[in-house]
Amino acid sequence: MTIKGVLFDFSGTLFRIEPARDWLRAALDARGSALPEAELAGYAERLAAAGALPGGSSPQRMPPGLAGLWKTRDESAERHRAAYTGLARQVELPDPGLYDALYERHMRPAAWRPYPDAAEVLRTLRERGVGIAVVSNIGWDPRPVFRAHGLDAWVDGYALSYEHGVQKPDVRLFRVACDALGTAPGDVLMVGDDKVADGGAANLGCAVHFVDHLPVAERPAGLRPVLGLIE
């Protein structure tokens, strides 16, 4: 198999969201307020357990009223915001304005960190003439994140669920990405961290490679095996 194009997932694959404590602290700062460190840590822990941080951990308990919304949260910007602010509201915060502030914070480039080898892998693929697209289940535009961290120059296209009203593992989103590269699915490798969502690319005929969804510091070279798969 000759790989002519590589599709990458966004969150947990190329980038990782900041820890919940930093997320909450930044939202507080944006509103000109603060909490004692012990209180901040407690609220952050409860928000993380609720699954309120996009790109973070899944909800430990899904409120019945949000279950249907959660399943299709990435099909539109409105559903994505409603799902995550709804989960955040399961935690009673001291400032009601924090729920929207938290959602706004997670979309800022400063809230995301690229994995240490992301730039190296993308650059090397481009040097080898391999097309690159990002395929993400998401409710907002991550292009500014790529630009802010200097990775956008190596990305040829984006297939974002909220822009097409369809989310992985539906093969239609992977087809959008392959078409953007002008490459047949049989010549494409999908790289992601979710065996269900990203694994759906196999149903279109793409090869699939999985990476571990770990904190940035714990996965310094998780993407480099991709280069070996291209050779």
Distance between CA atoms of residues 215 and 213, nearest Å: 7
Residue 169 and residue 102 in one domain: no
**pLDDT beyond 70 at 213:** yes
Per-residue pLDDT for 183 more than 90? Answer: yes
Q: Are residues 37 and 130 in the same domain?
A: no
Q: At what angle do helices 20-30 and 98-106 cross, to 10 degrees?
A: 120
pLDDT at 1: 64
d(Cα 42, Cα 70) in Å, to the nearest integer? 25
Tell me the pLDDT band of 205, cut-offs 50, 70 and 90: very high
Number of domains comprising the chain: 2
| Contact indicator for 16, 115 with CB cutoff of 8 Å | yes
To 10 degrees, the CA torsion angle through 201, 170, 114, 152? 90
Of the three residues 111, 127, 160, the one that is the final residue of a domain is 111
- Average of per-residue pLDDT across 153-175: 98
CA distance 227 to 204: 22
Asked which of 111, 142, 162 is the last residue of a domain, the reply is: 111
Residues 31 and 11 in one domain: no
Judged against a pLDDT cut of 80, whether residue 231 lies above it is answered with no
Over residues 15-60, the pLDDT tens digits come to: 999 999 999 999 999 999 999 999 999 999 999 999 999 999 999 9
Looking at the fold, whether 76 and 129 belong to one and the same domain comes out as no
Residue 2, pLDDT score: 86
pLDDT digits (tens, 9 = 90+) for 92-148: 999 999 999 999 999 999 999 999 999 999 999 999 999 999 999 999 999 999 999
Query: Is 27 found in the same domain as 93?
Result: yes
Question: In the predicted model, is pLDDT for residue 175 greater than 70?
Answer: yes
| Secondary structure of 44-104 in HEC code, one letter for each residue | HHHHHHHCCCCCCCCCCCCCHHHHHHHHCHHHCHHHHHHHHHHHHCCCCCCCCCHHHHHHH
Assess whether pLDDT exceeds 80 at residue 67: yes
Averaged pLDDT, 164-169? 98
Domain that holds residue 52: 18-111
Identify residue 67 by its one-letter amino acid code. A
Q: Report the percentage of the chain scoring pLDDT > 70.
A: 99
In this structure, the answer to whether residues 82 and 137 fall within a common structural domain is: no
Does the predicted TM-score (pTM) go above 0.85? Answer: yes
Alpha carbon distance 134, 96 (integer Å): 35
User: Do 101 and 202 reside in the same domain of the chain?
Assistant: no
User: Taking Cα atoms as reference points, which of 146, 192, 185, 188 lies closest to residue 169?
Assistant: 192
Domain final position from 86, 111, 136 = 111
